[in-house]
């Protein structure tokens, strides 16, 4: 894609799932030479090695990887993001894409410092030292909290619940607070907030790059149980589609949209029944029979977890099912009309590529797949 700019694109989170896919997409669009990758590590060489192995896993062409230079690493952690202040390369950063976060449903004592404070400091530093044209913040659609009725089609609203009790986990709360603080504490920031829904798999690589969240569908199926009704929908998008949408918002010269869901929306979100049917087809089996349990009865599944998922830590699995089940029961879909008006085509439905996800990690035990989300 032709681009009129040649200033640098600062990307955080490139060793992760979505950030890595964004880097690969930018390389695909021949923007790889413009990347400045903020990565943590003991030194630039180990950070560079970690990034390249993640980008290779996400399908980066070898030629693009060869062109990526160690000098494109900006060594910093979210804990000490202010350490980048003296770096002269900031003077060439026109676009920032902030993907890095402690993206976990389990509590972390430094969640606020990592997901909120570091983002605000990064924004302030870039405003001070860089000729910044656009700051793309990767939020999350679930920053909307859990107070809307189950099955709602959620529209984008800048007003997010700040009360922790309106969130299922501290992570989504931290993402809501971050958005609001970026607007409040950096009002002149050229901010674009993108809120992906749930990112699962890759349309060509399946779950080979990451089985994050995919294993939850597999576990429900193995256990023949769910906390969500099978007719309920879940809003899921593939990582490569999401990365292309992020790249469009970052690179397009004209961009008027300050806040967008990146989502399947009500139309392309799939029901659990449809997802199960596709998983069954991929395995050459019949669709599953599911018992629907309220969350407080999940402990009844412990013997079944031990029997059917013997490689998994039963208590950890139970905790995971409770956490992920909480989101599944909400059955939210995220309105994406604004996204489509911005010229971003809707994603393929999960049922179109979940068979590939299943094949790509068929021999990997669920416990190994869970490790993507319980690091
Ligand atoms: N995955 C989803 O379903 C989803 C949905 C909506 C929104 N999002 C958002 O998308 C973004 C990326 O999520 P993801 O799923 O790709 O997460 P991920 O795979 O866990 O990647 C997180 C990235 O953040 C970096 N990071 C974490 N802690 C750090 C620290 N203390 N210092 C420096 N870097 C740090 C990680 O670097 P290391 O490799 O060094 O740990 C990694 O590159 C997040 O902002 C998340 O909120 C994700």
Nearest CA to ligand 1 atom 33: 77
Q: Please tell me the distance from the alpha carbon of residue 174 to that of residue 109, in angstroms, as a whole number.
A: 12
Confidence at residue 359, expressed as pLDDT on a 0 to 100 scale? 97
Query: Alpha-carbon distance 29 to 172, whole Å?
Result: 31
Q: What is the pLDDT of residue 374?
A: 86
Q: Which residues pair with 136 in a beta bridge?
A: 97, 192
What string of H, E and C letters represents the secondary structure of 282-332? HHCCCCCCCEECCHHHHHHHHHHHHHHCCCCCHHHHHHHHHHHHHHHHHCC
How far is Cα of residue 67 from the mean position of the Cα atoms in its chain?
Answer: 26
Looking at residue 1, its pLDDT comes to 43
What is the model's pLDDT at position 24? 98
Q: Whose CA is closest to atom 8 on ligand 1?
A: 140
Q: Tell me which residue has its CA closest to atom 18 in ligand 1.
A: 16
Q: Which two tokens stand for residue 32?
A: 């790889």
Rounded Cα distance between 51 and 37, Å, is 9
Mutation pick for ligand 1 pocket among 103, 197, 246 (CB with most ligand atoms within 8 Å) = 103
CA distances from 31 to 9, 63, 134 (A): 9, 13, 16
For a mutational test of ligand 1's pocket, the pick from 25, 84, 101, i.e. the residue with the most ligand atoms closer than 8 A to its C-beta, is 101
Instruction: Tell me if 333 sits within 8 A of 179, measured CB to CB.
Output: no
How far is the CA of 39 from the CAs of 13, 22, 27, 29, 69, in angstroms? 7, 14, 17, 22, 14
Place of tokens 């950890």: 316
- Maximum distance among all Cα pairs of the chain, rounded to whole angstroms: 60
CB atoms within 10 A of CB 328: 22
Question: In this structure, what token pair is assigned to residue 153?
Answer: 């089609």
pLDDT of residue 3: 57
Give the DSSP per-residue string, 231-261: T-EE-EE-HHHHHHHHHHHHH-S----SEEE
Ligand 1 atom nearest to 171, measured from its CA: 47
Each domain of the chain, given as residue ranges in start order, spans: 8-211+235-268+333-348
pLDDT, residue 106, reads 87
Gap between the Cα atoms of 338 and 342, Å rounded: 6
CB 65 within 8 A of CB 71: no
Which residue minimizes the CA distance to atom 30 of ligand 1?
78
Measuring CA to CA, how many Å separate 21 from each of 12, 16, 124, 237, 245?
12, 8, 26, 13, 11
- Ligand 1 pocket: which residues have CB below 6 Å? 13, 15-19, 40, 77-79, 99-103, 114, 138, 140, 175, 196, 198-199, 212
Output the tens digit of pLDDT for each of the chain's 375 residues: 445 678 999 999 999 999 999 999 999 999 999 999 999 999 999 999 999 999 999 999 999 999 999 999 999 999 999 999 989 999 999 999 999 999 998 889 999 999 999 999 999 999 999 999 999 999 999 999 999 999 999 999 999 999 999 999 999 999 999 999 999 999 999 999 999 999 999 999 999 999 999 999 999 999 999 999 999 999 999 999 999 999 999 999 999 999 999 999 999 999 999 999 999 999 999 998 899 999 999 999 999 999 999 999 999 999 999 999 999 999 999 999 999 999 999 999 999 999 999 999 999 999 999 999 987
Q: Which of 15, 16, 53 to mutate to test the pocket of ligand 1 (most atoms within 8 A of CB)?
A: 16
Most ligand 1 atoms within 8 A of CB, residue of 15, 18, 47 to mutate: 18
Q: What's the pTM value of the predicted model, to 2 decimals?
A: 0.97
Of ligand 1's atoms, which has the minimum distance to the CA of residue 141?
A: 6
Nearest protein Cα to ligand 1, atom 2:
199
Angle between helix 214-223 and helix 314-330 axes, rounded to 10 deg: 110
Distance 297 CA to ligand 1 centre (A): 32
Question: Quick one: 8-211+235-268+333-348 is in which CATH superfamily?
Answer: NAD(P)-binding Rossmann-like Domain (3.40.50.720)
pLDDT score at 2: 44
**Residue appearing with tokens 């990347």:** 35
């Amino acid at each position: 894609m032709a681009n009129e700019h040649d200033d640098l694109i600062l990307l955080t989170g490139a060793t992760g799932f979505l950030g890595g896919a964004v880097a690969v997409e930018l390389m695909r669009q021949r923007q790889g030479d413009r990347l400045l990758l903020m990565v943590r590590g003991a030194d630039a060489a180990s950070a560079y090695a970690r990034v390249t192995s993640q980008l290779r896993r996400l399908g980066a062409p070898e030629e693009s990887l060869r062109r990526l230079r160690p000098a494109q690493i900006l060594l910093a952690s979210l804990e000490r993001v202010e350490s980048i202040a003296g770096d002269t390369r900031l003077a060439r950063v026109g676009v920032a894409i902030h993907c890095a976060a402690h993206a976990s449903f389990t509590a972390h004592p430094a969640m606020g410092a990592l997901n909120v404070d570091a983002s605000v400091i990064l924004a302030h530093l870039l405003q001070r030292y860089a000729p910044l044209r656009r700051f793309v913040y990767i939020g999350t659609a679930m920053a909307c909290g859990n107070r809307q009725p189950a099955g709602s089609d959620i529209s984008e609203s800048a007003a997010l619940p700040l009360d922790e009790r309106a969130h299922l986990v501290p992570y989504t709360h931290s993402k809501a607070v971050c958005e609001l603080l970026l607007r409040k504490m950096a009002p002149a920031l050229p901010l674009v907030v993108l809120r992906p829904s749930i990112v699962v798999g890759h349309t060509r690589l399946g779950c080979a790059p990451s089985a994050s969240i995919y294993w939850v569908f597999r576990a429900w199926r193995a256990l023949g149980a769910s906390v969500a009704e099978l007719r309920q929908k879940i809003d899921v998008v593939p990582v490569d589609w999401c990365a292309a949408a992020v790249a469009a918002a970052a690179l397009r010269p004209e961009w008027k949209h300050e806040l967008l869901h990146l989502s399947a929306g009500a139309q392309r979100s799939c029901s659990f029944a449809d997802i199960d049917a596709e998983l069954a087809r991929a395995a050459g089996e019949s669709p599953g029979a599911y018992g629907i349990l309220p969350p407080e009865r999940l402990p009844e599944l412990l013997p079944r977890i031990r029997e059917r998922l013997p490689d998994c830590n039963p208590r950890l699995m139970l905790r995971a099912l409770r956490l992920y089940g909480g989101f599944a029961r909400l059955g939210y879909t995220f309105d994406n009309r604004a996204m489509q008006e911005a010229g971003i085509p809707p994603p393929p439905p999960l049922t179109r590529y979940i068979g590939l996800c299943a094949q790509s990690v068929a021999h990997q035990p669920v416990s190994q797949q869970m490790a993507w989300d319980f690091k």
